[in-house]
Amino acid sequence: MKQIIRYKCDVCNKEYNNKEDCKKCESRGIPDITQYPIGCIDGDHSDNAFYRDITFAIALVEKDSYFKHNLLISAYACRDNGAGDNLSISDNLCIGNHNWEKGNSANINWDKPATKRLLLFLKEQGITPTAWDGEKAIPVNKEFL
């Protein structure tokens, strides 16, 4: 008979054969929802970016009950590619089981029509548009525009 020792992450309950891998998993922790404010702008408009014609803003943030180390982030999306905009919570918002790309604000083209439409929509809804300054979300101001 062999004794089998397994280690279980206290956050997500995933099991590991060795203690180091389990500790690494646990160290990922649970993301802080408050770090992802509604209205935070995200996008990568660089020439080779996959979503270069889309600007996103956080619409809803929830803890993921299945992938405990991640959040479910739903986003408003404005597109300059003919696919239309999603600007209603009742729409099929863009949703992802991921950590929001902190820092993509540096790659946003603030003059793109999609970005301008999204900023206008957020302001009309009474939502303060924010963007990442490298460390945290700050209100969009002339520094960005």
Give the residue extent of every domain in the chain. 1-29, 33-139
Residue ranges of the chain with per-residue pLDDT less than 70? 90-93, 95-104, 142-145
Task: Identify the pLDDT of residue 87.
Answer: 85
Please, what's the b/e burial string for 14-27 (b: 16 or more CB within 10 A of its CB; e: otherwise)? Answer: eebeeeeebeebbe
pLDDT (tens digit, 9 = 90+) per residue, 61-87? 888 888 888 888 888 989 998 888 888
Task: Identify the pLDDT of residue 118.
Answer: 94
DSSP bridge partners of 97:
72
Task: Identify the pLDDT of residue 74.
Answer: 85
pTM for the structure as a whole? 0.79
- 44 CB neighbour count, 10 Å cutoff: 20
Task: Identify the pLDDT of residue 120.
Answer: 94
Task: Identify the pLDDT of residue 65.
Answer: 84
| Cα separation, 56 vs 129, whole angstroms | 11
Task: Identify the pLDDT of residue 91.
Answer: 64
